[in-house]
């Protein structure tokens, strides 16, 4: 079994902690509690018959990625960049943030995730997709659990390749 570090990052209030809780504990809470500093937890997943241990760091949200303490990113094999499909301010600078992350953590697998899909219609998703400056990898709902496991599984697969 291999062990890998994954970072959950993005602007505040986009649902990083909810994704974290949904993935680790299969739980969702409507109450919003801002994350202070960082929270760490672990989950083992099975990818094509092989077990992978994922150490997930849920980092306090920042409007811009260069505000996140540099040391949190060190040694990360995967980065999940989360934005809120209902708040344009959280996806207006994806390109800049991703460029920064790529520079900061060279060689890491990056997934761009549009969260809160339960709050938008299919038409709205299409509209957002057209207006965004960076293609997202997956849309999720921490509330319903849609695509949450798939998101982490795709990273697990990439780690084994």
Contacting positions for other proteins (CB under 8 A): 1-5, 37-38, 40-42, 53, 55, 57, 69-72, 74-77
Of 1 and 33, CB closest to other proteins: 1
Nearer CB in complex with other proteins: 59/151: 59
DSSP structure class, residue 144: T
**DSSP per-residue string spanning 49-117:** TEEEEEEEEEEPP-SSGGGS-HHHHTT-SEEEEEEETT-GGGSTTHHHHHHHHHHHSTT-EEEEEEE-G
Nearer to other proteins, 108 or 120 (CB): 108
CA 64 to chain centre: 15
In 3D, which of 117, 109, 108, 157 has the Cα closest to residue 138?
A: 117
CB of 117 to other proteins, least distance (A): 29
Q: How far is the CB of 5 from other proteins (least distance, A)?
A: 4
Q: How far is the CB of 33 from other proteins (least distance, A)?
A: 18
62 versus 146: smaller Cβ distance to other proteins: 62
Beta carbon of residue 41, minimum distance to other proteins (angstroms, whole number)? 6
Strands 50-59 and 38-47: antiparallel
């Amino acid at each position: 079994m291999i062990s890998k570090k994954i970072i959950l990052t993005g602007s505040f209030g986009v649902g990083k902690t909810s994704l974290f809780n949904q993935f680790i504990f299969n739980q969702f809470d409507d109450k919003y509690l801002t994350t202070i500093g960082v929270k760490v937890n672990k989950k083992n997943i099975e990818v094509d018959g092989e077990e992978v241990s994922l150490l997930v760091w849920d980092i306090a949200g920042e409007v811009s990625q260069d505000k996140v303490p540099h040391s949190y990113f060190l040694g990360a094999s995967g980065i999940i960049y989360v934005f809120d499909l209902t708040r344009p301010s959280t996806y207006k600078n994806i390109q800049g943030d991703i460029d920064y992350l790529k520079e900061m953590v060279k060689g890491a697998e990056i997934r761009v995730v549009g969260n809160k899909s339960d709050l938008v219609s299919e038409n709205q998703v299409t509209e957002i997709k057209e207006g965004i400056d960076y293609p997202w990898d997956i849309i999720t709902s921490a509330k319903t659990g849609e695509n949450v496991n798939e998101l982490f599984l795709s990273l697990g697969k990439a780690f084994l390749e």
